[in-house]
Amino acid sequence: MTNTPQISSTSARDDLRTEPRFIRGLVIAMAVIFLTVFVVLPLVVVFAQAFSKGVGAYFAALSDPEALSAIRLTLMVAVISVGLNLVFGLVAAWAIAKFDFRGKTFLISLIDLPFSVSPVISGLVFVLLFGAQGFWGPWLQSHDVHVLFAVPGIALATIFVTFPFVARALIPLMQEQGTQEEEAAISLGASGLQTFFRVTLPNIKWGVLYGVLLCNARAMGEFGAVSVVSGHIRGETNTMPLLVEILYNEYQFVSSFAIASLLAMLALITLVAKTILERHLDEGPSPSGD
Amino acid sequence: MSGGAGRRSTLPGFGLTMGLTLTWLSVIILIPLAGLFLKTFELSLDQFWVILTSRRTLNALKISFGLAFAAAMVNLVMGTVIVWALVRYRFPGRRLFDAIVDIPFALPTAVAGVALTSLFAQTGWLGAPLAELGIKVAFTPVGIFVAMIFIGIPFVVRTVQPVLIDLDVEIEEAAASLGANRWHTVSKVILPSLIPALLTGFALAFARAVGEYGSVIFIAGNLPNVSEIAPLLIVIRLSEFRYADATAIAVVMLVASFLIIFAVNRIQRWAQTRIPAH
């Protein structure tokens, strides 16, 4: 992605296009030191703290019933929200990328909205709808339906914050690919669904994976929005990030950082997978007849 | 070159997919956000004003917006330095450092929060030496500032990086061959063409830091009027069942972030008209 082979190709003119050695060294040193202090060290600290009492304590912390319940809940919420956002993303991308209509840019910016809303506000809006003093709170209470401080609320808040990921990964990709291949399939007698599954989907598979990957990472790691709607019921409504907070506030640092290390590994795996997918997307089959 | 403007599509499914899109968008995003504004209208203007101008609310907003602005400024400068190093120079580990820039995007905020706190606490790897110099970071406003710098750095780097990569090298050569020294070429030719990207990156980092919660609350100390950020005050008001207070603060923050996004869109459009696409 960031290859710039054109630099360092010629010799004498290069001197005009680069800075003195001293400046170069200074800029590189500033960049490296800054990234090390602000990004690398926090990541290293997570693992150092998690293993500070040895490997035994680390695995004991992870096999604690509360930890296991948090891991289960996190996985469940991630499956629900990624699944729903995947379907929505495919549907929205089809409508937006394959057709021309007025207000397209506006619709895309509406889909983008959750990116610019504070996580706390993303949770707050659901408290205002479903909370005891909320619009539908009294009705829900009289019918004994639990949304807030239960799985549905956590899932809703997570769906809200991860809403744009899949759609945003697919829209530009599908726009770039145009509609020629699909039109050919339709004119040869394929149905709409056949066209989608046999022609469109194979063309966008890397984009789908890319969107799902980022959506999943955010879904599993979301803290602010989920924190507002969860109610922090131990063993029931705590996701992994919430358990990190609770254990940390109870000075159970090894346990807290053990859970945190799982989330940090998720982040690292996500980054590696993202790099690989980006390579596929860059080389991806370019639309024919371009 | 953008795929067929004005071309009529013969593909099926527009009505169905558009209908589903608008329905799902309304249920998940638009109705909940509208509920927030509706709740605000239950307040009289006086009540709204009293909440917003209370000392604690004003201080929380000042802390969130002020420190976010300062952190975005640091990100602007250091982001530019990082982009320059990554794009223009070769050095060992360059690709690794390029990948590392994305970590604040990928690391869950609660993990970042406990990690930064542990690092900058008085017994931490960086907190201990800083304490000897008499600098306290964790549990002070400086801690909030540090967390906001952490969370914002990828925004500047990832917006400016592609623009610097695509920058036409011939312009630089022309400037140099016309006798401009390197400093003039960089400051009068290269930096001006990066301005839209720099402004966008700054605005995105600022918007993110204003609303940031998870990575800040652990290191902040959360002392009312001193180190209490606005998102935390929303959470506190909610836990006290003071929904009106929470809503009023949320609306102000939401409107602010909409304005920032609007500004970003304007900058992008301005950049497109300023530099003709090639």
| Co-location of A23 and A156 in the same domain | no
pLDDT at residue B179, rounded to an integer: 82
The helix/strand/coil state of B223 is: coil
Lowest mean pLDDT among A218-222, B29-33, B173-177, B258-262: B173-177
Q: Is B146 in Cβ contact with A117 (below 8 Å)? A: no
Chain A residues with CB under 8 Å of B24 CB are 88, 91-92
- Nearest partner of A70 among A271, A226, A224, A215, judged by Cα: A226
- Whole-angstrom distance, CA of residue B87 vs CA of residue B133: 35
Full-model pTM: 0.91
Is residue A3 a part of any domain in this protein? yes
For residue A1, count other CB atoms closer than 10 A to its CB.
Answer: 11
Mean pLDDT score, B90-106: 94
| Co-location of A24 and A79 in the same domain | no
pLDDT at residue B276, rounded to an integer: 52
Q: Is B182 in Cβ contact with A18 (below 8 Å)? A: yes
Q: Please report, rounded to a whole number, the percentage of residues in chain A having pLDDT higher than 70.
A: 92
Residue of A nearest to B85 (CA): A28
| Co-location of A23 and A70 in the same domain | no
Residue B6 above 80 pLDDT?
Answer: no
Q: Which residue has the higher pLDDT, B241 or B141?
A: B141
Nearest-by-Cβ selection for B29 from A113, A120, A129: A113
Chain B residues with CB under 8 Å of A119 CB are 109, 211, 213-214, 231
| Co-location of A135 and A231 in the same domain | yes
| Co-location of A6 and A94 in the same domain | no
Residue of B nearest to A90 (CA): B17
- Whole-angstrom distance, CA of residue A220 vs CA of residue A266: 9
Residue B10 above 90 pLDDT?
Answer: no
pLDDT at residue A171, rounded to an integer: 95
Q: What is the mean pLDDT of chain A?
A: 90
pLDDT at residue A7, rounded to an integer: 45
Considering Cα of B82, then B87, then B92, then B94, what sign does the dihedral take? positive
A228 vs chain B: nearest CA distance in angstroms? 7
B44-274 fold = MetI-like fold (1.10.3720)
- Whole-angstrom distance, CA of residue B225 vs CA of residue B205: 24
Mean pLDDT score, A259-271: 97
Reported as a pLDDT band with limits 50, 70 and 90, residue B3 is very low
Reported as a pLDDT band with limits 50, 70 and 90, residue B8 is low
B66 vs chain A: nearest CA distance in angstroms? 16
Q: Which residue has the higher pLDDT, B2 or B85?
A: B85
| Co-location of A38 and A64 in the same domain | no
Chain A residues with CB under 8 Å of B169 CB are 6-7, 17
Residue A244 above 70 pLDDT?
Answer: yes
Distances (CA, A) of B164 to B87, B191, B198: 7, 9, 11
Is residue A278 a part of any domain in this protein? yes
No. of H helices and E strands in chain B? Answer: 15, 0
The total of structural domains in chain A comes to 2
Reported as a pLDDT band with limits 50, 70 and 90, residue B173 is confident
- Whole-angstrom distance, CA of residue A11 vs CA of residue A17: 10
Residue B93 neighbours by CB under 8 Å, 6+ apart:
A32
Is residue A220 a part of any domain in this protein? yes
Mean pLDDT score, A197-214: 95
Residue B142 neighbours by CB under 8 Å, 6+ apart:
B135, B136
Lowest mean pLDDT among A78-82, A147-151, B184-188: B184-188
| Co-location of A210 and A75 in the same domain | yes
Is residue A172 a part of any domain in this protein? yes
Q: Which residue has the higher pLDDT, A164 or A3?
A: A164
| Co-location of A98 and A240 in the same domain | yes
Residue A288 above 50 pLDDT?
Answer: no
Chain B residues with CB under 8 Å of A163 CB are 28-29
Q: What are the DSSP calls for A49-80, one per residue?
A: HHTTTHHHHHHHHHTSHHHHHHHHHHHHHHHH
This model of the complex carries an ipTM of: 0.91
| Co-location of A83 and A223 in the same domain | yes
| Co-location of A41 and A125 in the same domain | no
- Whole-angstrom distance, CA of residue A91 vs CA of residue A113: 18
pLDDT at residue A121, rounded to an integer: 97
Chain B residues with CB under 8 Å of A179 CB are 3-4, 7, 9, 11
Chain A residues with CB under 8 Å of B210 CB are 118
Residue A233 above 90 pLDDT?
Answer: no
Nearest-by-Cβ selection for A224 from B33, B182, B231: B231
Residue A287 above 60 pLDDT?
Answer: no
Nearest-by-Cβ selection for B213 from A119, A128, A192: A119
Structure tokens at A255: 């346990």
Mean pLDDT score, B124-140: 95
Chain A residues with CB under 8 Å of B124 CB are 45
Nearest-by-Cβ selection for B150 from A38, A126, A271: A38
pLDDT at residue A12, rounded to an integer: 45
pLDDT at residue A284, rounded to an integer: 61
Q: Number of C-alpha atoms within 13 angstroms, CB side, residue A223?
A: 29
Q: Which residue has the higher pLDDT, A122 or A287?
A: A122
Nearest-by-Cβ selection for A263 from B102, B108, B161: B108
C-beta separation of B198 from B160 below 8 A:
yes
Residue of A nearest to B235 (CA): A228
Distances (CA, A) of A217 to A78, A211, A213: 9, 10, 6
Q: What letter does residue A140 receive in the DSSP assignment?
A: H
Q: Is A107 in Cβ contact with B118 (below 8 Å)? A: no
Is residue A68 a part of any domain in this protein? yes
Could you read off the pLDDT of A153-197 as tens digits, one per residue? 999 999 999 999 999 999 999 999 989 999 999 999 999 999 999
CATH of the domain at A155: 1.10.3720.10
Nearest-by-Cβ selection for A38 from B84, B153, B210: B153
- Whole-angstrom distance, CA of residue B187 vs CA of residue B96: 28
pLDDT at residue A15, rounded to an integer: 56
Is residue A85 a part of any domain in this protein? yes
Residue A18 above 90 pLDDT?
Answer: no
Q: Is A274 in Cβ contact with B110 (below 8 Å)? A: no
Residue B69 neighbours by CB under 8 Å, 6+ apart:
B206
Mean pLDDT score, A7-18: 52
Domain carrying residue A92: 55-283
Question: What does the radius of gyration of chain B's CA atoms come to, in whole angstroms?
Answer: 23
C-beta separation of A207 from A253 below 8 A:
no
B76 vs chain A: nearest CA distance in angstroms? 13
Residue B245 above 60 pLDDT?
Answer: yes
- Nearest partner of B228 among B58, B53, B52, judged by Cα: B58
| Co-location of A6 and A105 in the same domain | no
C-beta separation of B75 from B155 below 8 A:
yes
| Co-location of A81 and A218 in the same domain | yes
pLDDT at residue B169, rounded to an integer: 81
Distances (CA, A) of A105 to A163, A277, A287, B265: 17, 27, 23, 11
Could you read off the pLDDT of A52-96 as tens digits, one per residue? 999 999 999 999 999 999 999 999 999 999 999 999 999 999 999
- Whole-angstrom distance, CA of residue B52 vs CA of residue B55: 8
- Whole-angstrom distance, CA of residue A97 vs CA of residue A103: 13
Start-to-end Cα distance in chain A: 22
Mean pLDDT score, A107-130: 94
Reported as a pLDDT band with limits 50, 70 and 90, residue B52 is very high
Q: Please report, rounded to a whole number, the percentage of residues in chain B having pLDDT higher than 70.
A: 95
- Whole-angstrom distance, CA of residue B1 vs CA of residue A282: 18
A280 vs chain B: nearest CA distance in angstroms? 17
Query: What ranges make up the beta strands (E) of A243-287?
Result: none
Q: Is B119 in Cβ contact with A113 (below 8 Å)? A: no
Is residue A159 a part of any domain in this protein? yes
Mean pLDDT score, A94-99: 94
Could you read off the pLDDT of B54-84 as tens digits, one per residue? 999 999 999 999 999 999 999 999 999 999 9
Residue B235 neighbours by CB under 8 Å, 6+ apart:
A120, A227, A228, B213, B246
- Nearest partner of A266 among A227, A220, A223, A222, judged by Cα: A220
Could you read off the pLDDT of A100-115 as tens digits, one per residue? 999 998 999 899 999 9
Q: Is A31 in Cβ contact with B97 (below 8 Å)? A: yes
pLDDT at residue A9, rounded to an integer: 44
Reported as a pLDDT band with limits 50, 70 and 90, residue B269 is confident
C-beta separation of B133 from B141 below 8 A:
no
Structure tokens at A30: 């500033």
Residue B125 above 90 pLDDT?
Answer: yes
Mean pLDDT score, B126-154: 96
